[in-house]
Structure 1
Amino acid sequence: MLTSLSIKNYALIDNLNVDFYDGFSIITGETGAGKSILLGGLSLILGKRADLSSLKDTTQKCIIEAVFNIANYNLKSRFQAEDFDYEDITIIRREILPSGKSRAFVNDSPVNLSSLQLLGERLIDIHSQHQTLQLTSNDFQFQVIDALAKHDDLVSHYKVELKGLKALQKEHQELLTFQAVAIKEHDYNTFLLNELVEAHLVEGEVETLEEEYETLSNVEGIKEKLDEAYQLLSEDQIGIITSLTSLKNIFQKLSSISNKYETLFNRANSSLIEMDDLYSEVYELQESLEADPQRLEVVDAKLKSIHNLMQKHIVSEVSELIDIKNQLEEKVAVTENLDETIQKKSSEITKKEEELNKIAQSIHKNRLDVIPQLKQQLETILVDLGMPNAQFKIDLELSNTFYSNGKDELTLLFSANKGGNFNELKKAASGGELSRIMLAIKSVLAKYIQLPTIMFDEIDTGVSGEISNKMGDIMLQMSKHMQVFSITHLPQIAAKGHSHFKVYKEDVNEVTQTNLIKLNHDERIVEIAQMLGGSEISNSAIAHAKELLN
């Protein structure tokens, strides 16, 4: 509940400090006294955007601070979700600086406006006439039915599962989109891959092939040179081997005469061995060397193929072609496996839809069970509010669509007159009737859920004295379960409050200021008498005011 409010330098308010109490509180004041200013300041606490025009003195900052006792509101999880510091006695402060910037604090920790708005919705429900249009909102109608059904956990579970379903559907659509693009590229990627696979690429093979190509291209020249070498080595008369053999024999004879010739012998012998080995290798090369036009053609074709692939893929190494081949293999494999992946995702979606259907059916059953109860309670309350022939027709159909709160489609129709046609609320009820219907709904809600503090802003506008008396009784009854404020011009309602506050204007140093005070019993008598008979207070008005208060 709201326990105190402090407003400094806001509109016509210079410095206001007021304490509030539980139960039913009345706020009255002449038209233009500043009740809307009070509500405007309170709205800033609840996260409404502010501007520089809110400042009374544009050289000073505006500070609005509200203290709430939230021990019974079960708000710890909300505070944790928004990363707020939780306190049973929570202080919310808004500051509007002369620069136009605004700051918000919850228990002295800075917060953003969106988070403050979410918290504000759980603290105070300011109900003004234009908010009666909420009645025509399907979301609000579901909130009322769900409050009676008491299945918040079930609806929350549904919302979590629905979020999971939407995530799966998004992934499924992304896969389908990817597949559509991939299919277009698949044939081309497969063609490129096949070219690379058929090339039988081996890292480093270009150098080997180029060497083989050069050899096969120059067989005759190589053979001629090898023949020359062979002749130089093996000629019977002047061949290198013949000459070295003679030289070796000479040094061998000399070494038998003196040891100093043995080194020469050894060197000649080593050279002869080396030449013999060279002779054998030249012979083998000579024997193995043959012209092979077919092999030359194969090698040439392979080299051209590799060079063409390098040009096509704009690379300079076979290793880079192999990398491209591996990448293409992955792309082709992913595309070919997409059907399986998409099918698996479809199965997950089907399973999630089955789970959601079970939850949605439970929600549907719970709602159907409480609709007759809601209809009966609303119609009973509206009889007391001067609408004896008011009737509701509430239809709930299970659809094939997953909505944010279930699969139900809700139709709420209303008839104000006996024998009248049922129609949508906004077409079937006048503004005054909508206000009374909203009050009836709020009073029903107060029995089933821990509503925040509620402030009715002239909900009784256009209502007769007897009906206003009934409206006051309903608000008084609601105050047993919650803190209720009513801003009213009707004495019948004002007299029912446990506490009574008056908004008034006064001139201080030729400056008009708005203020708010709590009235004692005698002051309440005077205020209600003025509401009954105007500024000229008669004895009969005083007597009537006392009667109403008693």
Structure 2
Amino acid sequence: MLIQLAIRDFAIVDTLDLEFHAGMTAITGETGAGKSILLGALGLCLGERADAGGVRHGADRADLSARFDIAEREDAKAWLAARELPTDDCLLRRVVTASGRSKAWINGQPCTIADLRELGECLIDVHSQHAHQALLNEDTHRRLLDDAAGHQREVAELATLHRQWHGLRRQYRERSDNDEERQAKRQLLRYQVEELDQLNLQPDELEALEREQETLAHLEETLREAQFAADSCDHDEGGALSLLQQATSRLSRVPGSDSGSLSEALGMLNEAQIQLEEAARELHHFVESTELDPQRLAWVDERLGEIHRIARKHHVMPEELADLHQRLSGELEALDSGGDDLDSLRAQLEQTRQRYREAAKRISERRQRTAATFARQVQDQLAFLGMDKARFAVEVTPLETPQPHGIDRVSLQISANPGQPPRPLAKVASGGELSRVSLAIQVVAASHSTLATLVFDEVDVGISGATAEIVGQLLRRLGQHAQVMTVTHLPQVAAQAHQHLHIEKQSDDHVTRTQMAQLDDAGRVRELARMLGGVKLSDRTLAHAREMLAASQGAAH
């Protein structure tokens, strides 16, 4: 379960350190106070997409970390162990810079964002306020039923089989195409490969040729300047060596030149003369041993021209020619051997198709068995939420065309009024009914979850009154088996929580900050009163809040 969340310079939060406990935690605050900041920070730790807008204004970066207790999470420990990461702790960290770049770590080791998402799926299950909108999509219906059936791994394996089946079918069709077209393609490929064979571009040759071309093109100027430098160093009158020798000779005849500063200067002049003589020899050697070679330059120009011509012909960069050569050679080889393994490919295709159908049939049968149980569980929750007359059903019907997820179409259906047959949610449920149906489904889905932490982000939207109190009881009941965190605007829900976190936005003339604190009993009464009656807290509202909290906590025991 989640035990700590640290937020630095994120949104309007400068520093925030939170500790979480088992049971149900309510997160409340005024509209715009930043309740979504906590879930946003947690989402980034779990691999959600980051952008520079999340960094607090004026800060260089946002630094977020979440620590989990995984003592009972064998799947999470196995994931860490497979990557040779410590399994006695689980610390996820994400840093987002003001430029929008981000980095991630797991237990102090750098990781990819995909790693965060993959590990996060072993730790937290998020139910959002937009879930009722997703209920209008039948893909969501199927995923919910599969979660209830507990065969997600089998469905993922089925998708792999479907991909393999269609990949093999595509290969078979390509190799079974009209022989004339195949021959034309083979002839074109053979011409292209032979042309690249003749080019015979060697590794790093392009870069070496470009360097040599640059050198040869400026060699005449280089020799001229080297000759000038060598002449400037010579012993001839006016040359650097001649002047240096004169200076050394005259200085050595000065009285006292064998001691003090003059002695040091004379020594440096002698060393300079030695260095200058060595430089002159090197320059003369370079000039005498280097010859202009126009023919070599012409060959290099021609070779580079040929490389660039062929690259333009194939619409690639010159440095991509080697990869192109390898790819075209592979395609040609596959075409040449296509006839030999066509029968083998046909057998492999049929075998994979049969494996898909058998696996899809097993999954379909399990969906059929689970549908009635899932429908009954949701209907029980609907009755608890005041829709006791509603009739909920899960319809599983065959698809005409097999899909990656199987051979079934899954439709969640409801009849809100007695005597009416169930129909798809999108055609029947009103906004208020859909909110309650969504909550009932999410509670059932959460009860099937094997994860230790369940997050509910304002799933109680559109619910009020006695139904809101029932929602709170449902979430508290879930909190007896898992850690439940819920962002809510309903006092009836917040009163049911074991732990209550309050978010408050504080502003002055210069800056706006969000603060979050765990409330004690007195603080909870004041927050419940605010949620009940607004900014001004009357004695009556406080008394109502106190009574609500006492009743909720007392009923729980």
> TM-score, normalised on structure 1?
0.67
- Higher mean alpha-carbon deviation, 172-181 vs 130-139, is at 172-181
The answer on whether the counterparts of 2:9 and 2:62 sit within 8 Å (CA) in structure 1 is: yes
Cα distance in 1 for residues equivalent to 2:383 and 2:131: 23
Match for 1:142: what amino acid?
A: R
Q: Corresponding residue for 2:528?
A: 528
Q: Corresponding residue for 1:47?
A: 47
Match for 2:412: what amino acid?
A: L
Cα distance in 2 for residues equivalent to 1:101 and 1:95: 8
Spell out the pairing of 1:201-280 with structure 2 (5 A cutoff).
none
The answer on whether the counterparts of 1:84 and 1:109 sit within 8 Å (CA) in structure 2 is: no
> SS at the partner of 2:460?
coil
The answer on whether the counterparts of 2:104 and 2:110 sit within 8 Å (CA) in structure 1 is: yes
The answer on whether the counterparts of 1:46 and 1:120 sit within 8 Å (CA) in structure 2 is: yes
Q: Corresponding residue for 1:166?
A: 166
Query: Where in structure 2 are there 5+ consecutive unaligned residues?
Result: 189-330, 551-557
Q: Deviations over 1:133-170 (max 9, x none)?
A: 22233333222222332334543443443343234223
Cα distance in 2 for residues equivalent to 1:6 and 1:148: 33
Spell out the pairing of 1:82-481 with structure 2 (5 A cutoff).
83=83, 85=85, 87-177=87-177, 179=179, 181-182=181-182, 341-399=341-399, 401-420=401-420, 422-451=422-451, 453-481=453-481
The answer on whether the counterparts of 1:525 and 1:542 sit within 8 Å (CA) in structure 2 is: yes
The answer on whether the counterparts of 2:76 and 2:123 sit within 8 Å (CA) in structure 1 is: no
Cα distance in 2 for residues equivalent to 1:509 and 1:394: 56
Are 1:517 and 2:517 an aligned pair?
Answer: yes
The answer on whether the counterparts of 1:159 and 1:404 sit within 8 Å (CA) in structure 2 is: yes
Q: Corresponding residue for 1:226?
A: none
> SS at the partner of 1:21?
coil
CA drift of 1:460 comes to 1.6
CA drift of 1:34 comes to 1.4
Q: Corresponding residue for 2:58?
A: 58
The answer on whether the counterparts of 2:394 and 2:412 sit within 8 Å (CA) in structure 1 is: yes
The answer on whether the counterparts of 2:464 and 2:490 sit within 8 Å (CA) in structure 1 is: no
CA drift of 1:340 comes to 6.4
Cα pair distance change 1:540/1:167, threshold 3 Å:
same
Question: Alignment identity in percent?
Answer: 33
Work out which of the two has the higher radius of gyration on C-alpha atoms and give 1 or 2: 1
> SS at the partner of 1:170?
helix
Cα pair distance change 1:183/1:515, threshold 3 Å:
same
CA drift of 1:518 comes to 0.3
Query: Where in structure 1 are there 5+ consecutive unaligned residues?
Result: 189-330
> SS at the partner of 1:75?
helix
Cα distance in 2 for residues equivalent to 1:478 and 1:533: 28
CA drift of 1:509 comes to 8.2
Q: Corresponding residue for 1:325?
A: none
> SS at the partner of 1:387?
coil
Q: Corresponding residue for 1:3?
A: 3
The answer on whether the counterparts of 2:65 and 2:92 sit within 8 Å (CA) in structure 1 is: yes
Match for 2:417: what amino acid?
A: N
CA drift of 1:24 comes to 0.4
The answer on whether the counterparts of 1:5 and 1:67 sit within 8 Å (CA) in structure 2 is: yes
Cα pair distance change 1:344/1:472, threshold 3 Å:
same
Q: Deviations over 1:400-438 (max 9, x none)?
A: 533222221223332323344643323322333333222
CA drift of 1:467 comes to 0.5
> SS at the partner of 2:394?
strand
> SS at the partner of 1:492?
helix
Pairwise CA RMSD of aligned residues? 3.2
How many residues get paired?
A: 408
> TM-score, normalised on structure 2?
0.66
The answer on whether the counterparts of 2:525 and 2:545 sit within 8 Å (CA) in structure 1 is: yes
CA drift of 1:59 comes to 4.3
Match for 1:504: what amino acid?
A: E
Cα pair distance change 1:70/1:80, threshold 3 Å:
closer
CA drift of 1:374 comes to 1.0
> SS at the partner of 2:135?
helix
Q: Corresponding residue for 1:17?
A: 17
Cα distance in 2 for residues equivalent to 1:153 and 1:186: 42
CA drift of 1:82 comes to 8.7
